[in-house]
Structure 1
Amino acid sequence: MSLKEQITDDMKSAMRAKETARLGTIRLLLAAMKQKEVDERIELDDVAVVAIVDKLIKQRKDSVAAFEKAERQDLADVEKAEILVLQAYLPERMSSEEVTAAVNAIVAELGASGPGDMGKVMGAVKSKLAGKADMGQVSAAVKAALAG
């Protein structure tokens, strides 16, 4: 079963169980997926769905930070609940040690050195680690690898 089919099945089960918060989040995800398919006239595969989930989680994290800064904990809690629902659709993430090791291997493979090569390294890293690691963590690892 593809990730897209699993999300659709989860929507149906959330409807039956009358889980309104979970249902709303899943519908948001399905709408974002449908929008991408219509805009680009493509059929989404699991990698593209994971990228959309990652994007939605990043938006929610930014919202949580803004709401907490404005002392609106009630709204921050809603966003955190949505993050938990969305994270269920992400594959197992790599640990920080695994990310660092993968980045160091790619830097060595490309023969990159210094901050000027960051774009070249990030391009290679993105293609290999997309969906498997938090890209903020990956970016920090690349900066550290190129600085050392």
Structure 2
Amino acid sequence: MLRDDLKQAQISAMKGGDKERLAAVRLILAKVKDRDIEQRTAGKEVADDDLVIDVLQKMAKQRRESITMFESGGRQELADKERGELTVIEEFLPKQMDEAETRAAIDAIKAEVGAAGLKDMGKVMAELKARHGAALDMGRASGWVKEALQ
């Protein structure tokens, strides 16, 4: 379970004296706890690993955006800090599908649902997310789906 892996990483970072890793893991655990609180009020039950993966994916996306902004603003030290956090976050994410695997999955789903044009993009995206959501960057995948449906 990912939550247990995160707690073990926190303990090993504390014992090893790795302050940067410890801070990143604590940040992840805090975000997961925030999401747990949100889930209590939402009433919709989500599997624990799915919840943690969703939190990690959002955190990774935020870090990538921040790195781009910091580098364009000439703040390399902040970009390096974000890059370090991103490395820790990506350790806990499932292996991401590469472009070739993603395009093959898109083609298979496109054939299964009988998608003919851009009007079927929603169907293809929904099925893609249902099957491979944890292993995909949906932002990049949407561009490839659009390209495949044109």
TM-score using structure 1 length: 0.93
Displacement of 1:136 in angstroms is: 2.4
Structure 1 runs (4+) deviating above 6 angstroms are none
For structure 1, the residue ranges without an aligned partner over 5 or more in a row are: none
Partners in 2 of 1:141 and 1:43 — Cα distance? 28
Q: Is the 8 A contact 1:103 1:125 kept in 2?
A: yes
Partners in 2 of 1:61 and 1:95 — Cα distance? 17
1:138 pairs, out of 134, 137, 141, with: 141
Q: Does 1:104 align with 2:103?
A: no
Q: Is the 8 A contact 1:51 1:131 kept in 2?
A: yes
Partners in 2 of 1:26 and 1:43 — Cα distance? 22
Q: Does 1:53 align with 2:62?
A: no
What is the alpha-carbon root mean square deviation over aligned residues?
A: 1.3
Moved more, 57-66 or 89-98: 89-98
Would you tell me which structure has more helix in proportion to its own residues? Answer: 2
Displacement of 1:15 in angstroms is: 0.9
Could you say which residue in structure 1 is the equivalent of 2:25? 26
TM-score using structure 2 length: 0.92
For structure 2, the residue ranges without an aligned partner over 5 or more in a row are: none
Residue identity in the other structure for 2:5:
Q
Residue identity in the other structure for 1:49:
V
Moved more, 116-125 or 59-68: 116-125
